[in-house]
Structure 1
Amino acid sequence: MTRIIRLVMAILMLPLILNAQPVEMADTMRSEGKIYVVVAILLLIFAGLIAYLVMLDRKITKIEKRLSDSNN
């Protein structure tokens, strides 16, 4: 029981021990407006991946349908 209490106390004290420094790169990019370019590129990549997965799913569905039709 004391182990659990020690573990909980250590986890609760962790933010006090670890004082994270601010990320200067993010502040610089945000102030120059470049962060929006990064976000736009990431959204474009994710949209492309989603479109690819949807097309791949359609192809696999067609192949599965053909295989099930040929087996019957």
Structure 2
Amino acid sequence: MNKIITLCFLLLTSLVLKAQEPEMADVFRKEGKIYVVIIVAGIVLAGIFAYLFFLDRKIDKIEKSNQKQK
């Protein structure tokens, strides 16, 4: 009995999900704003990669100075 109730619940939720409005990406694509979203995401990722790159360089310098002291 529990399996039947679970199956009915899953089927009903899938019907409700299909009746929703279009996704946000579709709306942005229609309005031409998807490029802004992509550019902002690219800038954020580039900033993270640059931060990690410079942080790695600083850590390497600190490790080299510690090895010279020993």
Q: With structure 2 as the length reference, what TM-score do the two structures score?
A: 0.69
Q: Which amino acid aligns with 1:41?
A: V
1:33 to partner: Cα distance? 0.8
Match of 1:40 in 2: 39
Q: What are the ranges of 5 or more consecutive residues in structure 2 without an aligned counterpart?
A: none
Percent of paired sites with the same residue: 49
Match of 2:62 in 1: 63
Count the aligned residue pairs.
61
Distance in 2 (CA, whole Å) between partners of 1:26 and 1:41 is: 14
Match of 1:3 in 2: none
Q: Give runs of ≥4 in structure 1 deviating > 4 Å.
A: none
The RMSD of aligned alpha carbons is: 2.3
1:28 to partner: Cα distance? 1.6
Distance in 2 (CA, whole Å) between partners of 1:39 and 1:29 is: 11
Question: 1:1-72 alignment to 2 at 5 Å?
Answer: 16-19=11-14, 20=17, 21=20, 23-71=22-70
1:17 to partner: Cα distance? 5.0
Q: With structure 1 as the length reference, what TM-score do the two structures score?
A: 0.67
Distance in 1 (CA, whole Å) between partners of 2:53 and 2:12 is: 46
Q: What are the ranges of 5 or more consecutive residues in structure 1 without an aligned counterpart?
A: 1-5
Q: Which amino acid aligns with 2:29?
A: R
